[in-house]
Amino acid sequence: MDDLRDKYLTLINDAGDEAALEELRVQAVGKKGEISLQMRSLGKMSPEERQVAGPALNALKDEINAALAAKKSALADAALDARLATEWLDVTLPARPQRQGSIHPISQVTEEVSAIFADMGFAVAEGPQIDTDWYVFDALNIPSHHPARAEMDTFYMSRAEGDDRAPHILRTHTSPVQIRSMEKQGAPIRIIAPGRVYRADYDQTHTPMFHQVEGLCIGKDVSMANLKWCLEEFVKAFFEVDHVELRFRASHFPFTEPSAEVDIQCSWENGVLKVGEGDDWMEILGSGMVHPKVLENAGVDPKEYQGFAFGIGIDRLAMLKYGIPDLRAFFDSDLRWLKHYGFTPLDVPTLHGGLSK
């Protein structure tokens, strides 16, 4: 039995790979292995002989199995060391930093505005970007001769010759959503309508496509005082100031009466806008009490209900809050402008292995 032990321990120690080790396992402790056959012969022995040979064979089997397991582990470690020695990758190096993008400033401001008005009970309403001239102009009390209805200011959809349907246009404001919401929900109602709008204009402060949010609040006792409070609370929350003065200047919009442009108190220091302090004023939005004809056109009785509406340029708010001087920077293919103001898009790998900026 000692010869059998020495034989297999030597063979196990000299095994060069796991295949050779598995072959030795079968020879030694497999079903027909030498040690297994020795254990089967115990039945032919006398009780006295079994009492001596049985424990010795069990101990031998355990020792061989332990030697097999230790050698297998040593072979696996040696194989891993050999693999690591031939590979160029250093797995101990720290991972490369992952570039992270950020939300686009227009989307961020839209979310900020929606959250602020949600705290004041305004729901978000949406509507089609291509609409009829009824919803975009007529229902809002905008007369047929108004300059906004000219083709030089508004994008009209092409019509085939003989097509007598009402003109469809790219909406010039989100006010049509107010009409559709009142038609669907009636009064009282309190909504904001953020979204894309389109006008035929392009310069540093105008683009053919931009974003607006318009608000509507209709009830039986809604007044200009409510409008003033609502806008003051919004400006303070959006620009993160504790106090701000608003100035309402008389103006004219076909869909509100009375109408007012709203200015905020501000100052400019080294090109940086500071809201709520200083002696300067800056116009940020238009507002007013909803015209009775607009309520009638939306199916709301103006003798029973009244309310206010306002419209704010989301792009303009983003420019003011984040100090972006050119509206076109939001849509320019050169994204270095947005990176300069803290809005970094994700870098996208190209087919050539570089990064598209």
Residue of 240, 290, 243, 281 lying closest to 262 (CA atoms)? 281
The total number of residues shown for the chain amounts to 357
Task: Confirm if 218 and 187 have CB atoms less than 8 A apart.
Answer: yes
- Other C-beta atoms within 10 Å of 51: how many? 10
Tell me if 257 is assigned to a ligand binding site. yes
Residue of 129, 127, 196, 134 lying closest to 167 (CA atoms)? 134
**For the chain, how big is the Rg over CA atoms in Å?**
40
Residues 6+ apart with CB under 8 A from 122: 190, 191, 192, 215, 217
> CB burial class (10 A; 0-12, 13-18, 19+) of residue 235?
buried
Taking the C-alpha atoms of residue 18 and residue 23, their distance in angstroms, rounded to an integer, is: 9
Task: Confirm if 194 and 173 have CB atoms less than 8 A apart.
Answer: no
Binding residues: 257
Binding-site residues for Mg(2+) sit at 257
